Structure 1
Amino acid sequence: MNLLPSFSVETWALLLGFVALLVVYGTWPFGVFKKLGIPGPRPLPFFGTCLEYRKGFLEFDTACFQKYGKVWGIYDGRQPVLAVMDPQIIKTVLVKECYSTFTNRRPFDLAGAIKDAISIAEDEQWKRIRTVLSPTFTSGKLKEMFPIIKHYGEVLVKNVQKRAEKDNAFSVKDIFGSYSMDVVTSTSFGVNIDSMNNPKDPFVREMKKLVKFDFFDPIFILTFVFPFLTPVLAKMNVSFFPKDAVDFFMRSISKIRQDREKEPHKGRVDFLQLMIESQNSTSHGNGENHSYKGLTDTEILSQAFIFIFAGYETTSNTLCYLAYELATHPDVQQKLLEEIDTVLPNKAPLTYEAMTQLEYLDMTLSEILRLYPLGGRLERACKRDVEINGVTIPKGTIVIIPPYTLHRDPEYWPNPEEFRPERFSKENKESIDPYTYLPFGAGPRNCIGMRFALLTLKVAVVALLQHFTFQTCKETQVRSTSRFETCTRGAGCLVSHRGCQHQTLCFHRRCTFRHYASNCVQTTAKFLSFNLYSFVYRQVCVFLLLQIPLKLKSQGLLTPEKPIMLKLVPRTNTARAEA
């Protein structure tokens, strides 16, 4: 039986030449780190080291650190990526050489409507946008915006009171997700929704759709393996983000802006209004220097959109982890309660000034952000060949800093898995190297919304702890001293991650996939002589089914793999006892 197709010699020559070129294309960049003497895991053609992410990229980073030290090289597809955990190199990348060499993040050409957002913009455009937006996040502007956040803190308390009357225990993500969504949409462009009581509101529906997009869709895989296709797809207006959700928010923002231009502003302060005012204030300025011009209409829409996208899930996840740690550390919670009752006795209304006086709350939030940093990695693109502390970084390399792993380095953090807010007391804080603690990044391109994020977290915590305490229940998943069951959305965690209760389900799925793969191979063998393309296609499918994890989500955010179930018990006395 002839298993090979009857092709002519010329066809075979072309086919073999094509395969050879394909192999060269898929492996050509993989000698970069070997030449430089930088250790790292062995890459596979086209995929590089990305299949290691099936363990979760936070776990992968930690494993690489333990095996290779403070500097190692990996490959995201064909893209060389240098991971660093040396504080001196981190300082140079994020601060010293920011403007000259490491100005930009990884290119994100298929960003669609948010291509002009501050987190994606590059070089001079980024500098201009940052300059225009920085006054929006000053203490004075946040103080003006505080009543909006405070209002939704009160709504949060009312919703929890209703929920606590019905359920003995519930997922804290339900309440914090609603609070986060309400604050983000209201402070971004003035839309008032009570998302917990209005789950079918269009803003709620489209927001949830937006944050559930999947980086491992066919478009992402295609551009990942064949990056030269990215400019072509960008010209075709292809984007990773769901078009209907993006269009909804863009239409909404445009309409809100048009309405405000028709009617006089009535004193409400939100980010959209502040950006419009900044645009108006610079519209009559000197137009010769472009770096001082205000935002364009498209840029305003992009910033409003990214505020929503970046602020929703990060806030709700951080509050979930904080609630869990307080419930499992009642001594810490008690200290926090005493401080709140001292600064705000008898459930006094929240004020901006009071939020700045809660020192132990600051320590607690700092420790939460150490254990559970908002994002998985910090990234910078290298614009020229450079040597830092004896490490050569070639032009075009992406430099990553993994805060999750850095924050757990025992060299800088004794007993790193322990939840201990006292690490950030005034006495201890002075001894912390600022480049070993990076929940919001560092340098000129750090998170511009850091103060706003912390204020939003504080209001939620204080408002709830004035009325409730967090307690564990039988449904609470208690973490071990070394690990809490989390997944990174986009990191590729398996459902059997850390021996969770879904291990049996995961085993059956694996068996099903392997059985399916075996059938594919047998079927391919029968029809190989009929179609060589079918053979290649099926082999690729088999390979992907066996290697790509089952749980590929989005964004690279640290997210609880299981719902965090807690009880919120009403407090009876909040008056501070006399000394």
Structure 2
Amino acid sequence: MILEVLISVPLLVFLTCKLWSHFNQSYFILSLCKRIRTEDGSPLEDKIYVTPTKTRFGNNFDLLSFTSASIFNFMRDACDQAKGRNYLWYFFHAPMYNVVRAEEAEEIFQSPKLITKNMVYDLLKPFLREGLLTSTDQKWHSRRKALTPAFHFNILQSFLSIFKEECNKLTKVLNQSVDKELDLNQVIPQFTLNNVCETALGVKLDDMTEGLRYRQSIHAIEEVMQQRLCNPFFYNIVYFYLFGDYRKQVDNLKIAHDFSSQIIEKRRTLFRSKQLGQADDFGKKQRYAMLDTLLAAEAEGQIDHEGICDEVNTFMFEGYDTTSTCLIFTLLMLALHEDVQKRCFEEVENLPEDSDEISVFQYNELIYLECVIKESLRMFPSVPTIGRKCMEECVVNGLVMPENTQINVHIFDIMRDPRHFPNPNTFQPDRFLPENTVNRHPFAFVPFSAGQRNCIGQKFAILEIKVLLAAMIRNFRILPITLLSDITFENGIVLRTQQNVKVKLLRRKQE
């Protein structure tokens, strides 16, 4: 109590900075011995751009007091300074190797050893714990193997009716917004969250009284993660406890984890009673959910309740926010490019008039719409950066990486490389027509990552996105309100904008 009274926040911050400075003096001397070096003994600067530092303590203080927006700009500026080369930072207790070229990303994606995520993912562990996104080694291998059947084509076909059902609900909502300003950030995330809840968990989120509270808790958890990402002091749990939104994180984690546990228990009861696949009292079949794969593994002793909770929370986080981000940017691009939207309308107009009759195969045949989605993902990848960590000294792209070296693969910059995508800041869906992709580097377009740790749900996501876009394009003309020049990008686990994206809908006349 006495210390709390005597030590003011400014004084404690000053003392923390002095302590941090002392730590970094030790770190700087240590890093001289543990710096990255070239395998052939040539000067490091010949193979990689070494980013200048603001202090003699490496890049530790370069991000101090940054916001999500300034971190995004900092990384883009670093890429510009490197002039298209990969570049090096020295942060905290390890070097950080930043990859912005497809040629060097290839070795990282294909390496069987580089599968452990870097320290940024540690900030996700209070929420996702040891789920598929954050786990590594044997646990990751076994979980990936167990979950792969849940994304089989036959399972995806069964999800199609859910996507259509949610689309019909959303279309009714959108009909009330015709000729008005529509905030995509308000309506699209609810659609994608409902989809992933019913497909992954087998439960309609809107039917649950705590559904809205759960959605709010997810956003609150991410806000806290963003706070920690933007302030290097908050990586330290003690400092975060004292000055960060620690209590906000704890309260919202409890809401999210309790909710998922409740849903799991409800589905487990159904699973044990062997009612799956049987008709209910209304003659409607119980659908197979991804959660059922985990429950089957639990019955065989391959996973426990905590493990199921981890994977369910991972499904929710990865399947909800990333998909809504892609949809929002794609709708914005369609609004800003009337000619592209017209071509998409001409394509979807050939689908059966009754959406219930549209098959997965017919959605797969929407080639140009898929090009539009891919070009949107190229320019605005839902996950702009992914990370890896060297668990032991290893050679990567001719560089000797000390143990614990952090690796950032900047997907945002890789997919805007003018060597592979001329005029990279221009929206051109034709880039992805089959004849235009023949000679492209196989790792130049990696919005879902690549290699062993690629996104397990990418086919799921593309199908969900196609179903909604097709429905919206058939029913509405999409006009722009928000312009690209209005947008300020923010860095995070998912690409964000400071401003909500808004469009205007006009009902299509029957022609």
Q: Contact (CA 8 Å) 2:197, 2:203: kept in 1 or not?
A: yes
Matched, 1:154 2:168: yes
Matched residues in 1 for 2:479 and 2:250: separation?
40
Q: 1:170 aligns with which of 179, 182, 186?
A: 182
Please show how residues 74-93 of structure 1 align to structure 2 within 5 Å: 74-93=89-108
1:312 deviation in Å?
A: 1.7
Deviation at 1:71, TM superposition (A): 1.5
8 A contact 1:53–1:60 mirrored in 2: no
- CA change 1:245–1:170 in 2 (3 A) is same
Query: 8 Å contact 2:71–2:230 — kept in the other structure?
Result: no
Q: Which residue of 1 aligns with 2:340?
A: 332
Range with bigger deviation, 171-180 or 346-355? 346-355
**Change beyond 3 A, Cα 1:566–1:386:** same
2:497 matches 1:486: no
**Cα offset for 1:220?**
9.4
Q: 1:339 to 1:188 in 2, by over 3 A?
A: same
Relative to the length of structure 2, the TM-score reads 0.82
Which residue of the partner structure matches residue 49 of structure 1? 62
Q: Which residue of 1 aligns with 2:385?
A: 377
SS in structure 1 of the partner of residue 495 of structure 2: strand
Tell me the equivalent position of 1:205. Answer: 213
Closer, same or farther in 2 for the Cα pair 1:349/1:404, shift >3 Å? Answer: same
Match of 2:294 in 1: 275
**AA in 1 matched with 2:101:** D
- Tell me by how many angstroms 1:351 deviates: 2.5
CA contact under 8 A between 2:66 and 2:231: conserved in structure 1? Answer: no
Which residue among 117, 131, 140 is the counterpart of 1:105?
Answer: 117
Alignment of 1:540-579 (within 5 A): 555-573=492-510
2:309 to 287, 301, 304: 301
Question: 1:187 is matched with which residue?
Answer: 199
In 2, distance between residues paired with 1:300 and 1:18? 41
Q: 1:113 to 1:413 in 2, by over 3 A?
A: closer
Instruction: Determine the C-alpha separation between the residues in 2 that align with 1:34 and 1:128.
Output: 33
> Contact 2:36–2:402 at 8 Å: present in 1 too?
no
How far the C-alpha of 1:349 sits from its partner, in A, is 4.2
Q: 2:262 aligns with which of 252, 257, 271?
A: 252
Contact persistence 1:49–1:74 (CA under 8 A): no
Letter in 2 for 1:567: K
Match of 2:429 in 1: 421
Assess, with a 3 A threshold, how the Cα gap between structure 1 residues 140 and 131 changes in structure 2: closer, same or farther. same
Report deviation, 1:434: 1.9
User: Take 1:135 and 1:62, find their aligned partners in 2: how far apart are those partners?
Assistant: 38
Shift of 1:297: 2.5
Residue 109 of structure 2, aligned match among 82, 94, 101: 94
Q: CA shift at 1:455, angstroms?
A: 1.1
Q: Which residue of 1 aligns with 2:283?
A: none
Which runs of structure 2 are paired with 1:332-351 in the superposition (5 Å)? 332-345=340-353, 349-351=357-359
> Structure 1 pair 66/347, CA: closer, same or farther in 2 (3 Å)?
same
Structure 1 letter corresponding to 2:25? V
Distance 1:477 1:296, change over 3 A: same
User: For 2:453, what is the secondary structure of its paired residue?
Assistant: coil
Change (3 A) 1:217 1:74: same
Distance 1:227 1:43, change over 3 A: farther
In structure 1, what is the equivalent of residue 25 of structure 2? 24
Equivalent in 136, 144, 156 of residue 142 of structure 1: 156
Q: What do the CA deviations read for 1:196-225 (whole angstroms, capped 9, x no partner)? A: xx9xx4222222222232125579968756
Residues 366/240 of structure 1: CA separation in 2 closer, same or farther (3 Å cut): farther
| Post-superposition offset of 1:560 | 2.4
Shift of 1:63: 1.5
Write the distance in 1 (CA, Å) between the matches of 2:190 and 2:21.
Answer: 54
Q: Cα RMSD between the aligned structures?
A: 3.2
Q: Per-residue deviation at 1:28?
A: 4.6
Trace 1:479-518 onto structure 2 (pairs within 5 A).
479-480=484-485, 485-488=487-490, 491=491
TM-aligned CA distance change 1:222 to 1:242, over 3 Å:
farther
Q: For residues 159 and 175 of structure 1, do their structure 2 counterparts lie closer, same or farther at Cα, with a shift above 3 Å needed?
A: same
- The equivalent of 1:115 in structure 2 is 129
Q: Which residue of 1 aligns with 2:85?
A: 70
Matches within 5 A, 1:2-17: none
The amino acid across from 1:62 in the alignment is R
Contact 2:389–2:405 at 8 Å: present in 1 too? yes
TM-superposed deviation, 1:104: 1.0
Structure 1, unpaired ranges of 5+: 1-16, 231-235, 284-292, 492-554, 575-579
- SS of equivalent residue, structure 1 residue 248: helix
Instruction: State the Cα deviation string for residues 107-149 of structure 1 (Å, max 9, x = none).
Output: 5456135222001111011001011111111212111222111
Q: Which residue of 2 aligns with 1:516?
A: none
Question: Which of the two has higher C-alpha Rg?
Answer: 1
Same amino acid, percent of matched pairs: 22
Point out the more displaced range, 409-418 or 112-121.
112-121
Does the C-alpha gap of structure 1 residues 319 and 274 become closer, same or farther in structure 2, counting only changes over 3 Å? same
- For 2:497 and 2:229, the matched residues in 1 are separated by 27
Shift in CA distance, 75/239, structure 1 to aligned 2, threshold 3 Å: farther
Deviates more, 1:215-224 or 1:307-316: 215-224
Displacement of 1:346 in angstroms is 7.1
Given residue 246 of structure 1, which amino acid in structure 2 is its aligned partner? A
Report the residue type matching 1:93 in the other structure. I
1:40 is aligned to 2:51:
yes
Which letter maps to 2:185? Answer: K
Deviations 1:364-396 (A, max 9, x none): 110000010011201111122223333222221
Q: Distance in 2 between matches of 1:340 and 1:56?
A: 40
CA distance 1:388–1:571, change in 2 (3 Å): same
8 Å contact kept, 1:339–1:360: yes
Q: Deviations over 1:515-559 (max 9, x none)?
A: xxxxxxxxxxxxxxxxxxxxxxxxxxxxxxxxxxxxxxxx43212
Q: Does 1:59 align with 2:64?
A: no
SS in 1 for 2:452: coil
Q: 1:29 to 1:307 in 2, by over 3 A?
A: farther
1:315 maps to which of 310, 314, 323: 323
Residue 33 to residue 140, structure 1, CA distance change in 2 (3 Å): same
Pairs aligned (count): 463
**Cα deviation, residue 261, structure 1:** 3.9
